[in-house]
Amino acid sequence: MDKIQCMINCIAVDDEPLALNLLADNISKIPYLNLLALCDDAFSANKALMENQVDLIFIDIQMPGISGLQFIESLVRKPMVILITAYKQYALDGFALDVVDYLMKPVSMDRFMKACNKAKELFELRHPSASDPAASLEYTFVNVGYSLLKVVFEDILYIEGLKDYVQIHLQSTPKPAIVRISFKNLESQLPSFFIRVHKSFIVNSKSITAVKKNAVFIGEKELPLGDTYRLSIEQLIASRRL
């Protein structure tokens, strides 16, 4: 099972119907955007914010009543914002409000996608579990024999792949859990603190006690370190080194 892609809830705000429909069409082509509402002014946008959990606003600047900039400035809890306008002169004002991006009409699809990707990166920094759903989970259930065994992720020391089976080695018991599941399938469901060190081994990075040229140690247990996975270990060490 592949990791679930993050979904960003958004609304689109523009007083021009054609521009609003074009914006909605562009949003529909971005797989991680979930369009909650189309709004033709700041008042309907405010209503949408009150009724939904909105992560991102696409908004025009020049609108009747309250401008896009005035609306953004009025928000106490501000979602991410991408401004879409026909006027260059508001760019500094927009970035002063810490918007994600400032797009000039007409907006090309590649430029629109670039702005959306910037929003996605920011969203994932603010919500780590969105890009790694397993990070918010503490345990899983696996089939062992004819029963389901609860396995707490923090309890796992390392996992060894054996053809159609894997052995899950735990801190809490000397006997590994033998599970009939593909190595690749299990790897895709693990939180981000697990790291592949060999074609047949995944380790809990929190349990690593030493690293040598061709080996990773979990206490007294020595596991092989493959050349393909050495860079991941080096990056881990660099991020934790004093």
**Which pLDDT score, from 0 to 100, does residue 103 have?**
92
Radius of gyration of the chain from its Cα atoms, rounded to whole angstroms:
24
User: Which residue blocks in 35-149 are alpha helix, DSSP H?
Assistant: 42-51, 68-74, 91-96, 109-126, 128-131
For residues 64-82, give the mean pLDDT: 88
Please say whether the beta carbons of 61 and 147 come within 8 A.
Answer: no
Q: Please give the Cα distance from 155 to 197 (Å, whole number).
A: 18
Q: Please give the Cα distance from 80 to 78 (Å, whole number).
A: 7
Q: Answer whether residue 2 shows pLDDT above 70.
A: no
For 28, the enclosing helix (H) or strand (E) is: helix 17-28
Classify residue 78 as exposed, middle or buried by CB count within 10 Å of its CB (0-12, 13-18, 19+). middle
Joined together, the tokens standing for residue 54 give 């909105």
Q: Answer whether residue 94 shows pLDDT above 70.
A: no
Classify residue 208 as exposed, middle or buried by CB count within 10 Å of its CB (0-12, 13-18, 19+). buried
The amino acid sitting at 150 is: K
Q: Please give the Cα distance from 20 to 8 (Å, whole number).
A: 19
Q: Answer whether residue 135 shows pLDDT above 60.
A: no
Q: What is the largest CA-CA distance in the chain?
A: 70
Q: Answer whether residue 239 shows pLDDT above 80.
A: no
Please say whether the beta carbons of 203 and 218 come within 8 A.
Answer: yes
Q: Which residues pair with 82 in a beta bridge?
A: 58, 101
**Using one digit for the tens of pLDDT, what is the confidence trace for 26-63?**
999 998 899 999 999 999 999 999 888 899 999 998 88
Joined together, the tokens standing for residue 7 give 């979904």
Q: How confident is the model at residue 176 (pLDDT cuts 50, 70, 90)?
A: very high
Q: Answer whether residue 181 shows pLDDT above 90.
A: no
Q: In sequence order, which residues have a C-beta less than 8 Å from that of residue 113 and are 6 or more positions away? A: 30
